[in-house]
């Protein structure tokens, strides 16, 4: 039973004493904004192309469906520093003649978050994709987890992802990023 209700053109906001309810008519999207920036979009999950009932914004204002795994590309075929925009994305190369480099954070307070995950793939056939550990000072150290050798290795400067290789980088703490996958040489 609705106890309180207000209509605004195509949006109806009501309260039944327990739950708040927002209904839209004539629209398939409801945007929720914070300081004028849309952070969350509620969608008609039965509309064509939608697999989720909501999308959330990332640091670069790109929207990703909530609860469904997609792996969008970020800065493919480019050298870059691991940053917030890499979180939940894949980077790498498919250019066979150029070597690109992903450099780890230079300090423990870089933008790539603790708990962040980034995939890296080398679709090329001739050259490596480099992963650089910045080292020194308050750097975030990168460690390679090698299940075949049963070891954890500090990559000490530079590791390479050979053609056909695919790895995951996971930031466990402000000072440690772990690398696992195939085709990587620390």
Q: pLDDT of 62-110, one tens digit each?
A: 887 776 567 888 889 999 988 888 888 999 999 778 999 998 886 665 6
4 pLDDT more than 80: no
42 within 8 A of 32, measured Cβ to Cβ: yes
pLDDT digit string (tens) for 159-185?
A: 999 999 999 999 998 889 999 999 999
- Quick one: which of 108, 103, 118, 111 has its CA closest to 170? 118
142 within 8 A of 168, measured Cβ to Cβ: no
* 120 beta partners: 91, 167
162 within 8 A of 141, measured Cβ to Cβ: no
pLDDT band at 1 (very low <50, low <70, confident <90, very high): very low
| Cα 163 to Cα 96: distance, rounded to the nearest angstrom | 9
Phi, psi angle pair for 74, to nearest 5°: -145, 120
Choice between 98 and 25, residue whose per-residue pLDDT is larger: 98
47 pLDDT more than 80: no
16 pLDDT more than 80: no
Average of per-residue pLDDT values in the chain: 80
102 within 8 A of 80, measured Cβ to Cβ: yes
Rounded to the nearest angstrom, the gap between the alpha carbon of residue 68 and the centroid of all alpha carbons in its chain is 13
Q: What is the mean pLDDT of residues 119-144?
A: 84
Residue 94 to residues 37, 44, 78, 105, 175, Cα–Cα distance (Å): 35, 36, 10, 24, 30
């Amino acid at each position: 039973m609705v106890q309180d209700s207000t209509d605004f053109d195509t949006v109806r906001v009501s309260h039944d004493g327990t739950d708040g309810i927002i209904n839209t008519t004539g629209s398939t999207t409801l945007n929720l904004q914070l300081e004028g920036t849309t952070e969350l979009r509620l969608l008609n999950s039965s509309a064509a192309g939608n697999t989720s009932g909501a999308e959330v914004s990332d640091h670069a204002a790109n929207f990703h469906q909530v609860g469904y795994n997609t792996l969008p590309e970020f800065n493919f075929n480019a050298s870059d520093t691991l940053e917030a925009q890499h979180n939940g994305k894949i980077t790498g190369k498919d250019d066979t003649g150029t070597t690109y480099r992903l450099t780890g954070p230079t300090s423990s307070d870089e933008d790539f978050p603790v708990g962040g995950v980034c995939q890296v793939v080398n679709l090329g056939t001739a050259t490596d994709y480099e992963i650089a550990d910045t080292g020194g000072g308050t750097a975030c150290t990168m460690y390679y987890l090698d299940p075949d050798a049963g070891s954890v290795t500090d990559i000490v400067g530079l590791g390479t992802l050979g053609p056909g290789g695919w790895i995951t980088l996971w930031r466990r703490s402000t000072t440690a990023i772990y690398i696992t996958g195939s085709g990587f040489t620390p």
